[in-house]
Amino acid sequence: MSSRIVDLTVNGTAKELIARPATTLLLALREALGLTGAKRGCAQGACGTCTVLLDGAPVVSCLIPLATLDGATVTTIEGVAGPDGGLDVVQEAFLDGFATQCGYCTPGMIMSAEALLDRNPDPSRAEVAEAISGNVCRCTGYEPIVAAILDAAERRRAAAARPLQGMES
């Protein structure tokens, strides 16, 4: 297999990358694009620290061949931002709830949380646990992470309800 050009959208920007046979999405993000938020952990898809959103779904980028992504949309932790360009609600909840701990798993956890809350704005504790089950926290601090995701869900729902306030009359 030879190299080929792959066109994809990364964090809202069109990119053209050279995909060599062994190039994974993680390698392309970190080395070709300088997006180092997705971490290289186990390189076997077991730890989740390299989680990004691929067409809106969380995936471990260390296992995805770049050559298979022509036309895909990728969102990394660098592409997650609030409406003002600052932190988004999930990131704020992680900081406020001390869910970042050592920080190694944080980008992958946040990306898994973003995907969950995009498809389910009111998840149960069990649904949050299931959503992050592919992400390993080396600090074993899952409770603050789960609490932060539930807090972010509540914050998102409250923000979504604000424009409706005052329209009852």
Whether 96 is covered by a domain: the verdict is yes
**Is the torsion defined by CA of 114, 119, 121, 123 positive or negative?**
negative
Stated pTM of the model: 0.92
Give yes or no: residues 70 and 107 share one domain: no
Q: Can you give the pLDDT at residue 166?
A: 55
Q: Can you give the pLDDT at residue 168?
A: 54
Structural domain of residue 114, as residue ranges?
89-163
Whether 168 is covered by a domain: the verdict is no
> What average pLDDT does the chain have?
93
Whether 42 is covered by a domain: the verdict is yes
Instruction: Say if residue 124's pLDDT is above 60.
Output: yes
pLDDT digits (tens, 9 = 90+) for 44-67: 999 999 999 999 999 999 999 999
Whether 32 is covered by a domain: the verdict is yes
